Structure 1
Amino acid sequence: MEPVELVKILLKSAAFEAGDTIPVQFTCDGDNVSPALELDNIPAETVSLAILMEDPDAPSGTWTHWLVWDIPPSATIEENSSEGILGKNDFGTILYQGPCPPIGTHRYFFRVYALDTKLELPAGSTRPEMLKAMEYHVIGSGELVGLYSHPALT
């Protein structure tokens, strides 16, 4: 059986360019709301989308800030979006928690996944539960990386 080639989804935000600083309003130093995300090249077979935002530079290892699934593929991911079902982040909350590095500049990876099914996980499920449910269902993905450090610490 041939391996399935994943479609590359173009993921961007009007709030910041890839590799640039994430504006304060989307962080713990600001309003702590999720940025609007723009998706292009979503596979036609997509049944739902999932988003994962993580900080791989956290002292304790990769830190999950936001996870949401069962987003309709036609949805517009607005600022402070409430589309989809939210999972439990590593802060122990079921909501978006923006960048808040303890020291230095950290990278924040926003990843979107096109799925050939709905995950139908209950709200508050964890990253490992989400990733397990996504196994064998990802048909496309995209990534956007932003940077952040506390203004007072730079």
Structure 2
Amino acid sequence: MTLTLISKAFAQDQPIPKKYARAGENLFPPLTWSGAPEETRSFALMVEDPDAPHGTFRHCGIANIPAQWCALAESVDTAPEQAPRFYKNDFGNARYDGPQPPAGDRPHHYIFRLAALDVPKLSTPDAAGISAMWAEAKKHALAEATVTGTYQTH
């Protein structure tokens, strides 16, 4: 079975609704996945915009998602303390911050990357940021799945 990732909020390569954008309600879009390898002990997620003017911009990083989970609810960042760990995004916030491309730019692509990991927790410090967390996650990845949405500021 192959790891798959989908969102009920948007289809693959389709626009992300404004309520999930930073200028909207800035809500985390709901995600569900299936097909994780049996050896999975946790998951990590990263949301990035490779079309940003100054290089790839990371909007969200979450690690230590329990292996038994198969979804992240809308606005998962409002979950209880035992929730997975958020890492500082490129806005400087340890939470989800939605799409915010410059006005007039062509639509940007927002890639939601989920990795099934062979460890129950990553030890990367929160302050290390998403890039460091994802680099550590890649060392333990058993499988990876993506779903991509687009967003344009008019």
Q: What's the TM-score once normalised by structure 2's chain length?
A: 0.88
Q: Give the whole-Å Cα distance in 1 for the aligned partners of 2:135 and 2:146.
A: 19
Name the stretch that deviates more: 79-88 or 105-114: 79-88
Q: Give the whole-Å Cα distance in 2 for the aligned partners of 1:126 and 1:48.
A: 19
> What's the counterpart of residue 115 of structure 2?
113
Q: Quick check: 1:50–1:71 contact (8 Å CA) kept in 2?
A: yes
- Secondary structure of 1:128's match? helix
Q: Give the whole-Å Cα distance in 1 for the aligned partners of 2:140 and 2:10.
A: 29
Matches within 5 A, 1:94-109: 94-102=94-102, 103-109=105-111
Name the stretch that deviates more: 56-65 or 82-91: 82-91
Structure 1 stretches (4+) deviating beyond 4 angstroms? none
> What's the counterpart of residue 84 of structure 1?
84
Aligned AA for 2:99? P
Q: Which runs of 5+ in 2 are unaligned?
A: 78-82
Instruction: Provide the aligned length of Structure 1 versus Structure 2.
Output: 145
> What's the counterpart of residue 4 of structure 1?
none
Deviation at 1:135, TM superposition (A): 4.0
Name the stretch that deviates more: 7-16 or 54-63: 7-16
Q: Quick check: 1:70–1:120 contact (8 Å CA) kept in 2?
A: no
1:126 pairs with 2:129: yes
Q: Give the whole-Å Cα distance in 2 for the aligned partners of 1:73 and 1:125.
A: 23
> What's the counterpart of residue 18 of structure 1?
12
1:45 pairs with 2:39: yes
Name the stretch that deviates more: 72-81 or 53-62: 72-81
Q: Give the whole-Å Cα distance in 2 for the aligned partners of 1:142 and 1:135.
A: 12
Deviation at 1:104, TM superposition (A): 2.5
Q: What's the TM-score once normalised by structure 1's chain length?
A: 0.88
> What's the counterpart of residue 25 of structure 2?
31
Q: Give the whole-Å Cα distance in 1 for the aligned partners of 2:2 and 2:89.
A: 26
Q: Give the whole-Å Cα distance in 1 for the aligned partners of 2:127 and 2:27.
A: 18
